[in-house]
Amino acid sequence: MPMPPEYEWKDARYGAHKGAVLWQKGADTLIECACCGFRHIVPLPSETVQKAFYEESFYQSEKAKYLAEAEEDFAWKAVECGLRIDIAVELSGIKAGRVLDIGSGPGDFLKVAQSRGWDAVGIEPSPVAARYAASRGLNVINGFFNADTAKDLGRFDFIHLSEVLEHIAEPESLLKLARSLLKKNGVLCVSVPNDFNPLQGVSVKKLEKEKWWIVPDHHLNYFDFDSLTGLIEKNSLRVKKELTNFPMELFLLMGQDYAGNPALGRQMHGWRKTMDTNIAEVSPELLRTFYEKLAEARMGRLAIVFAVLGDE
């Protein structure tokens, strides 16, 4: 059955959403939402469903190997986190202040920030991940980032929001709340999957693959650099820097079809880890330049955007 050209969905909580249909499977439809300015799934799940998933299922069943793999990946992850902190220091002019990591997971970013002298606080909905991070000597609040939990956090020089916005039904509301906790000249770093990027498009056409990156059980929203920048700047923040990481789609185009093959995907991930750490050991500046230039070309697996809060 052919997809309808346009889809409209209304909800008492989430309002009206309308846009061109990009993908459809079962009850899920992905639209280019004219109301939001980014692609997202409809219908959106209820707050109760989302809460249960991230508190009770995400690390327990969906990501059962995540914490063990995070331990293996930490040396590589420290390179990535360190680069983000370096950019925040440059933009804010503050060597080490207060930093909040929203959706802090196993605490890798917090660990690196703490080692660099930052007063680092994390907030994480999964009790499994929060306990693991606390066992590493990190300051982590187990809960969702919302108006209730935010009111006692204070203000921050730097807020880090990595691979969170794609998971939640109301990303703009979360951004507004995060912005309210930033000090003047504070830095917000937002990282999301860079979806529908040029290399994905080539892979779909050349390899005749389905759009493997669409996973509605996990990702509700599908950003790229432009839609993420638009959402951030809509909320009175000024984007100052863009970054990415290795474009995993290159492996597909090299004949390594990791999509749907977790073991091969883990091997390909190991290859990119080796490349990043080898370059970083010799020239961190080169690694940064490489990923800044890829971001300019709108390529790379992640869209990483740094924005600054100026005068109100």
Which H, E and C letters describe 239-303, residue by residue? Answer: EEEEECCCCCHHHHHCCCCCCCCHHHHHHHHHHHHHHHHHHHHHCHHHHHHHHHHHHHCCCCCEE
115 pLDDT higher than 80: yes
Stretch (H or E) spanning 39: strand 39-42
53 pLDDT higher than 70: no
* CA distances in angstroms from 35 to 8, 10, 18, 182, listed in the order given: 10, 11, 6, 27
Average pLDDT over residues 70-87: 95
Which residues, other chains included, contact 224 with Cβ-Cβ below 8 Å and sequence gap of 6+? 194, 195, 196, 197, 298, 303
Instruction: State whether the Cα torsion 111-270-294-236 is positive or negative.
Output: negative
Taking phi first (over 0 means left), then psi (-120 to 50 degrees means alpha), and beta for anything else, what does residue 108 get? alpha
Average of per-residue pLDDT values in the chain: 93
Identify whether 10 is part of a domain.
no
Identify whether 14 is part of a domain.
no
62 pLDDT higher than 60: no
Which one has a higher pLDDT value, 80 or 1? 80
Distance CA 297, CA 161 (A): 23
Residue 187: which domain range? 64-308
Identify whether 22 is part of a domain.
no
pLDDT at residue 271, rounded to an integer: 97
Distance CA 302, CA 279 (A): 19
* Tokens 């500046």, located at residue: 285
Distance CA 230, CA 282 (A): 36
Helix axes 108-115, 66-92, angle to 10 degrees: 50
CATH number, domain with residue 293? 3.40.50.150
Identify whether 139 is part of a domain.
yes
Lowest mean pLDDT among 62-66, 217-221, 299-303: 62-66
Q: What does the pLDDT look like over 166-200, one tens digit per residue? A: 999 999 999 999 999 999 999 999 999 999 999 99
pLDDT at residue 49, rounded to an integer: 73
pLDDT at residue 12, rounded to an integer: 87
The pLDDT > 70 percentage for the chain reads 94
pLDDT at residue 112, rounded to an integer: 98
Average pLDDT over residues 221-248: 96
pLDDT at residue 310, rounded to an integer: 72
Identify whether 16 is part of a domain.
no
Average pLDDT over residues 63-89: 91
Identify whether 12 is part of a domain.
no
Which one has a higher pLDDT value, 255 or 63? 255
Name the pTM for this structure: 0.94
Q: How confident is the model at residue 237 (pLDDT cuts 50, 70, 90)?
A: very high
What's the number of domains the chain is made of? 1
Identify whether 273 is part of a domain.
yes
Identify whether 158 is part of a domain.
yes
Distance CA 98, CA 122 (A): 11
Stretch (H or E) spanning 8: strand 6-11
Helix axes 171-180, 225-234, angle to 10 degrees: 50
60 pLDDT higher than 70: no
